[in-house]
Amino acid sequence: MLSKNPQLELASEFVQNTDRNIFLTGKAGTGKTTFLHQLKKTCPKRMVVVAPTGVAAINAGGSTIHSFFQLPFGPFVPGQSEKNNQNRKMNRDKINLIKSLDLLVIDEISMVRADTLDSIDEVLRRYRDRTKPFGGVQLLMIGDLHQLSPVVKDDEWALLKDFYSNIYFFNSNALKQTFPINIELKHIYRQSDDFFIGILNAVRENKIDAETLAKLNSRYIPNFNPHEDEGYITLSSHNYSANQINEVKLEKLKSKAYKFTADVNGDFPEFSYPNAFELTFKVGAQVMFVKNDVSREKLYFNGKIGTITKIKEETIFVKCPGDYQELVVNKTEWQNFKYELNTSTKEIEENIIGTFSQFPLKLAWAITIHKSQGLTFEKAIIDANAAFAHGQVYVALSRCKTFEGLVLHSPISFNSVKTDGTVANYTRNAEENAPDKNHLTQSKIVFQQNLLYDLFDFKTLKGALFLIKKHAEENHQTINDGFLDDINKIRELGDTKIYDVAEKFKRQIHAQLQNNVLPEENDDLQERIKKGCNYFSEQLETISQAYKELTFDADNKSVKKQIEEDLENLNKEIFIKQSALKLCSDGFKTLSYLKTKANAEIDFNNTKKAEANITPKQRVTVAPAGVKNGSLFQVIKKWRDELASDNGVPVYQILPQKVLTDLANKLPSNFEELESIKGIGKIKVKQYGNEILTMIADYCQSNDIKQAPLQSLLSADVSNKTDTKRVSLNLFKEGKTVAEIAIQRGFVASTIETHLTHYIESGEISIFDFMDKTKIDLITDYIAEHNPNAINQTKEALGNEISYGEIRAVMKHLQMQE
């Protein structure tokens, strides 16, 4: 039935095929709630449903506005973002969910304040697109302004009155920027009596006159006292009045009282309880169902009135007027949902985080008008002459299916029929500017055009590169050489191959968009899009490859973290844009484009998670550009970083980044050469010199690299044509140890060991003269058992206690024995 409703069909089209913000309204009983439930089943967009109160959220199958967006309770004062955000902590999963969101549905929008909507706007902008209202998320707002209105306390209004002329949602500063469309549902499903509908419309639109009021008051029946089995419920404007009626009626029953306590599991906050935690019933009590029967039989519905006939342990029997049989009622379950983004399916899922189990019944001789919103009654007594809020009388009257089923407890006065003039004006303007099919077509065209402009817009990529350049320039002294040059090369690629070309291309497609045809249906435009996507994909791939070849490191932790975040953001922008271009290289489709773009961000985040789970040994470390001996650079850097961590000091206080590069490039072989490197003074040579020279000597020996010693140190040897190895041998024969020779000659111990190894072959020296037998046996046993192909394998297996020089000496010794 609802599917044939032209306004509902129009609303569905606007929701699914445009990005327009929509206010879906209509009189009571026009199918707004049914539309929402159908939309949740059929809409291809990623959507979340929120509502202003806990009960409304549970009924709509969503979350409360404040819990989903983690808003503080209290007014949102525009322009005070820092203060408004100080207590808000959003976890990564919630942020990812918000970033993937296409559609935000707000149910019962009439109760939402303007400042609350602006607070939602602030959150969405922060995690999505700051330049667009609500971060670019589409809003579907459902409700009736002629029903219950928002509540604002005097002290809150004192803070807000300078920013808002009234507190209704449509006065939101963010919403005003979007020019939302208003669709009013016309067909009333709840009432079929034109006479009654006419009275309700007059009350709703503040057009009630003396004649209409007289017709309405004809339902005032003094001293009306229906029989219990007639099933009348009293709707009262005040809570205490409704409670008093129920308590008095229950007390009059002489039957036994039964108490039933709810079962609450998981996360289900008390303010969201859909029924009382503890219920007290007696046989003969008039009750109302507060939930629809979800079984196939659909035996009861929310608002159905009946009388308790029996109570047996955990089962209650209820007889409703017009039914032939008693209804057997047991506890039923309400579920509290939490929205989560499934990173595998890329869909937003409603996950159950808590349950509330209780009988779907409550005492129903009377309820408040406020709690009756959304319900339908066959028979009701309206006690609304003391109505204190706009729309209360209309809500109460419109709960009734028929005029004859309505009885007034007291006559309705003109003063009780309150309709806010602001609401009346807004509604009148909305009716005068109601959208039609042509408006829908234009909105579709604009939506698709904007998506195309977005597809060929590279401002975020350009901005990401600029930010990296800016931070690198500001901290150039602490980052590795060559990084800034590489970034500038990438920026130059973007300038010449992408940005300028993209602007020209957008002007070309703009010309083709002037024919007022849907881009999806424009064949010439589709061909142009395909060619453009292929071109930009190729250029972006070039930038992607250049990005992958970047090497970055920094001495300062905060600088390193900042630029690494900048680099990750650049990588994400490249990944998302590549995904969108690849999709549209086969043609542009609106919903596919939206889905692919949102999925790309999820896929990127999944890739980052996978990388985070890789163990350090699995990660490939690359030295910065310009470093000749990359693996040595990484060895020294690891030693430096661990030393800094052990001493609780910044890494640059041990050795700055540029010193590491010079060490790996210049390969100093003695203390004088080490001291000649800028950034290493006498103190650091004394502190770390032996360790650094050992690491360099080991690297050179394992890679057969000859270190060229300073001429000044060896001038005597060179002039006399003395072999440096012979000098070490002579000193050893004089009784000096390897360590003493190393100190005297300015070398590290492993270099002296290499010198002496040379003379094992000639028989001038025995390995046992300068090496401990325990070490010789350890190395010999490993070589005999594993027959290693390279010295590196033996070194890695035996660890730092054994040097490369010692391994070479044993290998030479074994060779001589053979």
* Single-letter code of the amino acid located at 400: C
Hey, is 679 helix, strand or coil? coil
Alpha-carbon distance of 150 to 111, in angstroms, equals: 4
**pLDDT by residue (tens digit) across 588-633?**
998 888 888 878 877 887 776 655 554 433 334 567 777 888 888 8
- Report the half-sphere exposure of 163 (CA within 13 A, side-chain side): 21
* pLDDT recorded at residue 54: 74
Closest Cα to residue 352, out of 335, 367, 366? 335
Candidate ranges 345-349, 558-562, 582-586, 742-746; pick with highest mean pLDDT:
582-586
Q: Is the pLDDT of residue 414 over 80?
A: no
Calculate the average pLDDT of the chain.
83
* Other residues' Cβ atoms within 10 Å of the Cβ of residue 257: 13
Alpha-carbon distance of 107 to 50, in angstroms, equals: 6
Closest Cα to residue 696, out of 714, 717, 713, 671? 671
Decide: 498 and 537 in contact? Cβ < 8 Å: no
Percent of the chain with pLDDT over 90: 25
Decide: 13 and 440 in contact? Cβ < 8 Å: yes
Q: What is the mean pLDDT of residues 159-179?
A: 91
Query: Which two structure tokens, joined as six digits, stand for 177?
Result: 């920027």
Band (237; pLDDT cuts 50, 70, 90): confident
Hey, is 15 helix, strand or coil? helix
* pLDDT recorded at residue 419: 62
Alpha-carbon distance of 380 to 362, in angstroms, equals: 16
Alpha-carbon distance of 386 to 369, in angstroms, equals: 11
Chain position carrying tokens 């932790």: 557
Closest Cα to residue 659, out of 679, 642, 685? 679
CA torsion through residues 450, 456, 461, 463, sign: negative
CA torsion through residues 164, 168, 170, 172, sign: positive
Closest Cα to residue 75, out of 165, 173, 151, 178? 151
DSSP type of residue 418: -
Q: What is the mean pLDDT of residues 730-752?
A: 79
* pLDDT recorded at residue 271: 79
* Single-letter code of the amino acid located at 87: N
Which residues in 164-187 are b (16+ Cβ under 10 Å) and which e? Answer: bebbbbbbbbbbeebebbbbbbeb
Alpha-carbon distance of 698 to 692, in angstroms, equals: 10
Band (671; pLDDT cuts 50, 70, 90): confident
> How big, in percent rounded to 5, are the helix, strand and coil portions of the chain?
55, 15, 35
Closest Cα to residue 486, out of 624, 660, 620, 634? 624
Alpha-carbon distance of 104 to 40, in angstroms, equals: 11
Could you tell me if residue 568 is left (phi over 0), alpha (psi between -120 and 50 degrees) or otherwise beta? Answer: alpha
Q: What is the mean pLDDT of residues 439-459?
A: 90
- Supply the pTM of this predicted model: 0.65
Hey, is 458 helix, strand or coil? coil
Top pLDDT among 395 and 360 is at: 360
Closest Cα to residue 732, out of 712, 713, 706, 758? 758
Alpha-carbon distance of 729 to 769, in angstroms, equals: 12
Band (308; pLDDT cuts 50, 70, 90): very high
Decide: 356 and 268 in contact? Cβ < 8 Å: yes
Burial label for 527, CB within 10 Å (0-12, 13-18, 19+), is: exposed
**pLDDT by residue (tens digit) across 174-187?**
999 998 999 988 77
Beta pairing class for 263-266 and 257-261: unpaired
* pLDDT recorded at residue 309: 94
